[in-house]
């Protein structure tokens, strides 16, 4: 079973303004509303891929009701702790010429509700996977993921951590099964600016050496890098994609990678499938549907064949130059 935990879920309110002038009334040309929060996105894509998943987390108020109803109608199993006061945040995504995002603060979470969530986490068994992703609300300790991993240590649970900065670094001592920074987050950790999977690889290797078993680094349209649990390095490219809305693309990659390994696919195929999931979501209005993922995965095969041919040609040239 793959569990996700979302401490600060959100209703994502995506607006499509034609222009955006600060200090004036702006009008949207269309808008959508959907369930958000990184863990919830991961579970939604896993569910789309027919992989068993349970959404844990904390919800409140009318927005929490919307999240629960929507996920349950889509067939996602939920086990949320419900707050008595406040409401789950609404995150505004202004999808204009450039994307502007205003994420809410979220409700105050009392200690007894955190304990209730911990009680549910305590029931996770050996061999299960726990995905820890998304921001931790300001009212809770910012080393919350570390607290959870320490609490559940030694029980044979596979941890997946997708979090920025110190949250990610702290997680390494628990030897997480997977981490997935993007190239910017990775760059910040090492004070560098890697753009491509090739440029990210040495830094991904360092995180692998510090404990992370599988390090997947997404590089937007440039593709992704993986240093896998087998110690080898893998690169995937992105299928051709018209960007519609990148919200949830990283979460879709996490889900795609986990789903593929669950099905016994090779690391290279898992990375390719993860890339297809991310691109499919980036090209969709909401999170990707299975048919779009399959279409992108199929078109990636051609892109990868070209990439491999280029690589082989370059290697041959280098060999000839050495002679």
Ligand X SMILES: O=P(O)(O)OC[C@@]1(O)O[C@H](CO)[C@@H](O)[C@@H]1O
Q: Is 251 a catalytic residue?
A: yes
| Neighbour-count burial for 104-133, b at 16+ CB within 10 Å, e otherwise | bebbebeeebbeebeebbeebeeebbbbbb
Window of 30-38, 124-132, 153-161, 288-296 that interacts with ligand X by CB under 6 A: 30-38
| Cα-Cα-Cα-Cα dihedral sign, residues 255, 227, 220, 37 | positive
What is the contact mask toward ligand X in residues 131 to 170, using x (rule: CB under 6 A)? ---xx-----------------------------------
Which of residues 28, 100, 103, 299 is near ligand X by CB under 6 A?
103
| Least distance (Å) between residue 11 CB and ligand X | 8
Of the pair 170, 267, the CB lying nearest ligand X is at 170
The C-alpha atoms of residue 263 and residue 46 are separated, in whole angstroms, by: 12
CA distance 78 to 101: 27
By CB neighbour count within 10 A (0-12 exposed, 13-18 middle, 19+ buried), where does 262 fall? Answer: middle
Binders of ligand X among 238-267, rule CB under 6 A? Answer: 247-248, 251
Question: By C-alpha distance, which of 47, 119, 25, 126 is closest to 81?
Answer: 119
Nearer to ligand X, 99 or 309 (CB): 99
User: Which C-beta is closer to ligand X: that of 91 or that of 183?
Assistant: 91
* 63 counts as binding ligand X under rule CB under 6 A: no
Q: Which residue has the tokens 């959508």?
A: 32
Q: Which of 190, 261, 139 is nearest to 181 (CA)?
A: 190
Active-site entry in 21, 69, 112, 251: 251
Residue number with CB closer to ligand X (217 or 228): 217
41 forms part of the interface with ligand X (CB under 6 A) = yes
Decide if residue 284 touches ligand X (CB under 6 A): no
CB atoms within 10 A of CB 248: 28
**Toward ligand X, which CB reaches closer, 146 or 252?**
252
Gap between the Cα atoms of 158 and 129, Å rounded: 5
Determine the 3-state secondary structure of 160 from DSSP: strand
Residue 100 binds ligand X, judged by CB under 6 A: no
Q: Does 43 bind ligand X (CB under 6 A)?
A: no
Distance, first Cα to last Cα, the chain: 54
Residues lying near ligand X in the complex (CB under 6 A) are found at 8, 10, 12, 36-38, 41, 91, 103, 134-135, 247-248, 251
Annotated catalytic residues are: 251
């Amino acid at each position: 079973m793959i569990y996700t935990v979302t401490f600060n879920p959100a209703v994502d309110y995506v607006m499509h303004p034609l222009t955006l002038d600060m200090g004036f009334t702006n009008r949207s040309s269309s808008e959508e509303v959907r369930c958000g929060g990184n863990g919830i996105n991961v579970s939604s894509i896993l569910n789309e891929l027919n992989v068993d998943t349970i959404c844990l987390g904390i919800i409140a108020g009318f927005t929490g009701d919307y999240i629960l109803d929507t996920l349950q109608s889509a067939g996602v199993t939920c086990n949320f702790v419900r707050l008595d006061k406040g409401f789950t945040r609404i995150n505004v995504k202004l999808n204009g010429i450039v994307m502007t995002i205003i994420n809410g603060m979220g409700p105050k979470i009392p200690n007894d509700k955190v304990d209730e969530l911990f009680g549910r986490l305590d029931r996770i068994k050996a061999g299960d996977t726990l995905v820890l992703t998304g921001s931790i609300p300001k009212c809770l300790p910012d080393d919350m993921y570390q607290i959870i991993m320490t609490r559940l240590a030694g029980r044979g649970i596979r941890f997946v951590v997708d979090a920025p900065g110190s949250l990610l670094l702290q997680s390494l001592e628990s030897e997480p099964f997977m981490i997935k920074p993007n190239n910017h987050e990775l760059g910040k950790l090492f004070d560098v600016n890697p753009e491509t999977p090739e440029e990210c690889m040495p830094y991904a290797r360092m995180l692998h050496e510090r404990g992370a078993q599988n390090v997947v680094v997404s590089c937007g349209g440039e593709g992704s890098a993986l240093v896998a649990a087998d110690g080898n390095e893998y690169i995937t490219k992105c299928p051709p994609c018209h960007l519609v809305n990148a919200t949830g693309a990283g979460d879709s990659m996490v889900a795609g990678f986990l789903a593929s390994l669950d099905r016994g696919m090779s690391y290279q195929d898992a990375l390719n499938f993860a890339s297809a999931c991310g691109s499919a979501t980036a090209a969709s209005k909401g999170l990707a549907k299975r048919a779009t993922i399959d279409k992108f995965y199929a078109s990636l095969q051609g892109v990868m064949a070209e990439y491999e041919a280029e690589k082989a040609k370059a290697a041959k040239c280098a060999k000839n130059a050495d002679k």
